[in-house]
Amino acid sequence: MGLPFGTSQDTCPVRSLRQWLDRAGIREGPVFRSVVRYGHVARRGLHKDSIGKLLKRAAARAGMNVDPLGGHSLRAGCVTQAAMNGVREFIIMRQTGHKTVATLRRYIRSGEIFRENAAAGLGI
């Protein structure tokens, strides 16, 4: 499964990934690596706990509450936004590797409470 090019060059994950690989000189091995002393890119991949720490650091810089965030927040956010955008569950499951719809649905956060809300239809 792949990622399509985004509609905006500034936010396209495929373009960003290609740019990172090119600038870091990565031709094989782990994609996500530490940037060590003097801006050199390490050969080894990030530790499994690094994604959550990096996410929390970036969220804190943006002024967000970091307490509920973790590495799986990115996965849950992807699944939630895809569901809110009307992507069918089997398509999301093919991308994420979920084996059951029940497990997939646990990843969908309650963002739909504002879109699928009876009060929203009152016109007030």
What is the reported pLDDT for 61? 96
What is the reported pLDDT for 6? 77
How big is the CA angle at 43 (ends 76 and 17), to the nearest 5 degrees?
A: 45
Do 23 and 56 lie in one domain? The reply is no
Segment 21-70, tens digit of pLDDT: 999 999 999 998 988 889 899 999 998 889 899 999 999 999 999 998 98
- In one-letter notation, the amino acid at residue 69 is L
Do 69 and 22 lie in one domain? The reply is no
Segment 59-113, tens digit of pLDDT: 999 999 999 898 888 889 889 989 988 999 999 999 999 999 999 998 887 655 5
Number of domains in the chain: 2
Rounded distance, CA 66 to CA 53, Å?
10
Rounded distance, CA 110 to CA 73, Å?
13
Do 16 and 54 lie in one domain? The reply is no
pTM: predicted TM-score of the whole model, two decimal places? 0.62
Which residue, among 88, 111, 113, has the nearest Cα to 98 in the 3D structure? 88
Q: Is 34 helix (H, G, I), strand (E, B) or coil?
A: strand
Do 52 and 106 lie in one domain? The reply is yes
Domain limits for position 77: 48-111
